[in-house]
C-alpha cells in the first residue's frame, strides 16, 4: 500500500467524519469544526493526488492549492466564529433557529 493511497483514504475518511458532524449537530461551533475537518480531508486528498511514482518531481499545482486553501480556511473560520458570536449575542443561543419559512 503506497503513501498516496493512505493519504487519500485518510482524506476521504476525514471528509466523511466532517460531513457527519455538519449534518448531525445543531451547535454552530461544532458545525464550524466539522467544516474544518472536511477541509483537512480535502487537503489530504489533494496531497495524495500530487504525488507521483518513481523519481518524478511532484506536481506543484496541488501543493499551491493546499497552501491557498489553508489561508482561505483560516479566514473563513475567523469570519464564521465572529458571525456565531454575533448570533449568540442576539439570540442567546449558538444554534440556528429552527423555523420553517412560509411561502406567503
Per-residue DSSP letters for 50-90?
H--STTPPPPHHHHHHHHHHHHHHHHHHHHHHHHHHHHHHH
Spatial separation of the C-alpha atoms in residues 39 and 67, rounded to whole Å: 12
- pTM given for the model: 0.81
Q: What is the pLDDT of residues 17-38, one digit of tens each?
A: 999 999 999 999 999 999 999 9
pLDDT digits (tens, 9 = 90+) for 68-79: 999 999 999 999
25 and 34 Cβ atoms separated by less than 8 Å:
yes
In the predicted structure, residue 104 carries a pLDDT above the cut 60: no
pLDDT category of residue 63 using cuts at 50, 70 and 90? confident
Amino acid at each position: 500500500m503506497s503513501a498516496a493511497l493512505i493519504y487519500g483514504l485518510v482524506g476521504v475518511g476525514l471528509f466523511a467524519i466532517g460531513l457527519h458532524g455538519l449534518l448531525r449537530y445543531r451547535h454552530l461551533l461544532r458545525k464550524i469544526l466539522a467544516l474544518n475537518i472536511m477541509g483537512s480531508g480535502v487537503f489530504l486528498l489533494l496531497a495524495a493526488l500530487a504525488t507521483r511514482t518513481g523519481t518524478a518531481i511532484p506536481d506543484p499545482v496541488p501543493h499551491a492549492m493546499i497552501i491557498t486553501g489553508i489561508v482561505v480556511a483560516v479566514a473563513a473560520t475567523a469570519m464564521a466564529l465572529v458571525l456565531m458570536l454575533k448570533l449568540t449575542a442576539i439570540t442567546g443561543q449558538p444554534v440556528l433557529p429552527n423555523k420553517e419559512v412560509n411561502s406567503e
